[in-house]
Structure 1
Amino acid sequence: MADAGTAPPRYLEIKRSIVDALKSGQLKAGDRVASESEIVAQFGVSRMTANRALRELRDAGILVRRAGSGSYVADPKPIGHIIEIRNIADEVRSRGRSYRPRVLSNTALRADGVSAALLATRAGAPIFRSLIVHHEAEFPLQLEERLVLAAAAPGYIDADFTAVTPNEYLSRVAPLERVEHRVAARKPEESVRTLLGMKPDEPVLVMTRRTWSRGRVVSYAVLTHPADRYELSATFEVGV
């Protein structure tokens, strides 16, 4: 183990000086930073050390390289969830429509190999599986199939999902810490098409969502929407 008083490698010292200048406002997006030659003279290091510091800052997205001109502070990228986590009941009501759930099942199971991998648990661990169709007015808007780790939300099996959505319930008992989203367009199976009241050949938009709370996976949901009744959007600010 290194001694607490050991000086950091020189390339780290160079990187920290640039990052500190960004934090203090001394450097801003679009500003040119010192060249390799200037860093060599300023810090008394080799060109290889200067190159490594600039290269690692570029790889991290902090700097950009302009051929024949030098290295510059990169423009900030939009940061945030592209798809907002919203309770579907609130989403429907915000449009002035009535919301109605149809709870098809909510059962206790033992995790098989697939569900254990999705929930990052062991095979045989207690889990819950719920299947619900969410309606906007009288039109099916979303089929939700959700796996939940019983140890993370033991009361899930007894929850009344005609009064509260799974999203709402889990937000209370296992506050959201991390989310993983994936979205894809697919052709639905006949059973899914029937539950969503769809015509043959209509595509669906499928979002898979895995959530974490208190350092562990809590749930894995497959949210299926008729593509002609649902769209995903996002609003975020970008740096000027």
Structure 2
Amino acid sequence: MRKYLIFIFIVLAVAGCKKKNKAVTSTIPGKPALTTPAQNSVCISGTIISATESQVLFTWNPAVNTDSYDLVLKNLLTYTSTTINTIDTKINATLLRNTPYEWYISAKQNSSSTTTQSDGWKFYNSGAGIVSYPPFPADIMYPAFGQVITPSNGKIELYWAGNSVGNNIASYTVCLGTTSNPPAIKNGLTESQLKDVAVTANTTYYWRIITFDADGNYTDSGLFQFKIQ
């Protein structure tokens, strides 16, 4: 009887270990690493389809625990996004020429609803006869969209990040106000920040950044909003 009880104990212990090991097995997809088109590049390797469109190859490294991928493409002029699903680590997509884009990969696992997103990379899909390229729209860093801010002595700071293919950004214009068409409050900024911005409590603000390069090209970050407590 004693030997039988010892046997049952061992069986239960082994089963418990198996369940424990199974419980810690991760099904969360790994983070994909992008390869091409490269960050902040002029894409010249696409296949021209027409005067307005070309086909571009996107590639990335495989991610662990992943069954499929979503390629998400964002047109940085219209701010519209397109999603393409694939089980491969490369895919062709038809894009507008002469247009800046941002892209990222979302890794998916069939047995989990959790997805893992790669970094976002920007590139410019080139067009015929282009000798200079507009800067990429500025990335709004702070305040983020919808963020609630507690000011210090009635003032806040604004931060953003700018990039361009030719590394020739000349200046920024900051537009800020309480309507969805905020006026320019500062022109000719060469730094990607604006300090000591006076704000009013219990107020929603709208803001955008206009980026200018040395060739006279410019882009709009798109409209963002935040609230002051």
> What's the TM-score bracket when you normalise by the shorter of the two chains?
under 0.3
Higher helix share: 1
TM-score by length of 1: 0.21
Higher strand share: 2
